[in-house]
Structure 1
Amino acid sequence: MSLSCSGYNCPVEATIQLIGGKYKAVILWHLMGKTLRYSELHKRMPKATDKMLAQQLRELEKDGLINRKVYPVIPPKTEYSLTDFGKSLTPILDELCKWGEDYLNKTQTLEK
């Protein structure tokens, strides 16, 4: 799902296309300020299947949002981190988190 500039009339649509995959925003959130191995990411997202997590990581790498560094060791070691382009999403992800916290607090209050 590589992003091309053509075909988008709305910047929000382009942004959602880039980060709107099933786990993409969550992956980016977990990588903010950190470098994590695949297994560490998977522990933080236990509902993600191996296939889905690998697919989302490949797409984020292809779109230039994350770096993938493979070490030539046995057992294999692969680390993921945000690129500068990926880091530029930090304020957006922070606001999504704040909005989500507000939403959860409001819905929990309504349920009581």
Structure 2
Amino acid sequence: MLTDEPSTEFEFHEAFQRQAPASYAHWTAVEQSHAKSGAVSLVAAAAWFADIPPDAGDRIRATPQPPTLVVAGDRDLLTGVKPVAGYASLLGADYALIEECGHYPWVEQPQAFRGRLDPWLNRHV
């Protein structure tokens, strides 16, 4: 994964598919199917991290935040647990950690995800 430096859309798609298992805590048929859904784009991925203003964090924190729930998987290799927990804390958001779960809790642990989401929604909607 560390040596992938795709320069074409084809190379990016190939790298994305090769690295997909790292996004999940387990690699069953459910996760494999999810990894194939949607589209990936080198241009979009590059734009995601481009031109982020240095004061972006300050702007977000200065904006009134609606009630928010941040849900994380304890085995998320894409973001890690600490950055997600930190993000939730900075936003003043509620935070839920799901065990045995990677980056996509609603796919990998749908019952646990709903078990965190439904009570939260019932309190805030």
Q: TM-score, normalised on structure 2? A: 0.24
Q: TM-score, normalised on structure 1? A: 0.26
